Amino acid sequence: MKSNVEKLSSLQRKLNVEVPSTTVQSSYERIFNDIQKEVTIKGFRKGKAPLSAIKSMYNSKVKQDVVQDLIQMHYVKALVEHKLDPISYPEFEFDDLSEEKNFSFSATFDIRPEISLKKYENLSVEKEILKFDDAQVDKVVENLRNSKATYEDLATTRPAQLGDLSVIDFEGFVDGQPLEGGSGKDHRLELGSKQFIEGFEEGIVGMNIGEEKTLKLSFPTPYHSKDLEGKAVEFKVKLTGIKTKQLPELNDEFIKAANTGVNSVEEFKKVVKQDLEASDKKRVEDAFKNRLLKTLVKENPVDVPSSLLKDQKLALIEDFKKRMAQQGMDDVSLKEYIEKWDKDFEKTATEMIQSSFLVDAIGKKYDLICKQEDVDKKFQEYAAQTGIDESRIREFYSKEETMSRLTYQITEEKVISKLMETVKIKEVTKEQLKEEEN
């Protein structure tokens, strides 16, 4: 066997292999002999048919089997010989196979980048100062009251106002043509809820029941449907009814009836505050860890294999598609959004891959790679937290893909703990972080 390696780019290699004709002939003979032992041909006992008959009947299939056999055997040999560590599936190209000639094939693939850990200690990372606002509790309480609200017809005649539930018939027109999905009959719209584009709900305020009105508005920029961005639109609106919202009185009886799990307003607010504080703490910690990993990537540049980037980017887009479809985004808008934010998907995918390489490198350097005892401990934690039997949790993670995600998560947690030993935290306000990100 002869082989050589071509460097197509910093992380892409092409492995060229030539297998001698004698090896090709041996592979042919072995596979033909194996078939001869197993098949039955009319007029011959099993295993006794002549090779000439076998070759006549099975030559095409054997040719495919020989190609597969030769590539599998010599591809691995060549990888070992040249000390190559592919990180992507190879793309094979091969010549037409002839029993009397040498057989040549090539495999193109990406290799794992060499990781140089330049700076991972004493990283300077910003962290949001956790500041709880009691107004968050009041908002949850009001949301609960609103969810249990009832609506009643107006007791007296008056124009529509903010907070009313308006009942409308409407039609939208763009460039004189009906707007697809832009019409409705007996549509209920709470004025001030901002469900429609700016100016629509405001235009209904002041209308009387039975009144008709044309609202001349414009779609905002940006807008989820790219072809409507900034376009002028006319809505013909008829107000057919007005209902007023009746909020339930906030008292202990209401809290009990709302199935909150507690018996008083005071208890409910206490539980809500605890939940919100825990949620805020987790949000801040998750965001800090994300910035820590981004800082690690910034301080330790890593080349990203094109095949991994392509796969990771596609995975992000597919996940986004599923989430948006569940929220009701139509296919046209979804396609436009993905095209518009293509570079952002690519940037996120790049950072995820770079981060995973660095986490792996630090994990290996300090023996932090996930072990079986780490997995067992995590299963026990999940069982204790959820009340789900540990055997069911193990069953869920029995698939290679889910187990792979879990083991990486555990390794990442251990590496982050290591980085935290020397990290320099710079505390900043939520507003400062938003300003810097923008």
* Structure confidence at residue 436 (pLDDT): 79
Taking Cα atoms as reference points, which of 419, 365, 348, 413 lies closest to residue 124?
419
Look up the CATH number of domain 2-110: 3.30.70.1050
What are the tokens at 56?
A: 């006549």
pLDDT band at 52 (very low <50, low <70, confident <90, very high): low
Look up the CATH number of domain 150-246: 3.10.50.40
Helix (H) or strand (E) holding 353: helix 342-365
pLDDT band at 330 (very low <50, low <70, confident <90, very high): confident
pLDDT by residue (tens digit) across 87-118? 999 999 998 888 889 999 999 999 999 999 99
Whether residue 40 is predicted with pLDDT greater than 80 in this model: the reply is no
pLDDT band at 140 (very low <50, low <70, confident <90, very high): very high
Q: How far is Cα 71 from Cα 21, in angstroms, rounded to an integer?
A: 14
Q: Domain locations in the chain?
A: 2-110, 150-246, 256-437
What are the tokens at 435?
A: 């300003």
Decide whether 2-110 matches 256-437 in CATH topology. no
Q: What is the mean pLDDT of the chain?
A: 91
Which residues make beta-bridge pairs with 215?
235
Look up the CATH number of domain 256-437: 1.10.3120.10
Whether residue 45 is predicted with pLDDT greater than 60 in this model: the reply is no
* Structure confidence at residue 329 (pLDDT): 79
* Phi, psi for 219 (deg, rounded to 5): -70, 145
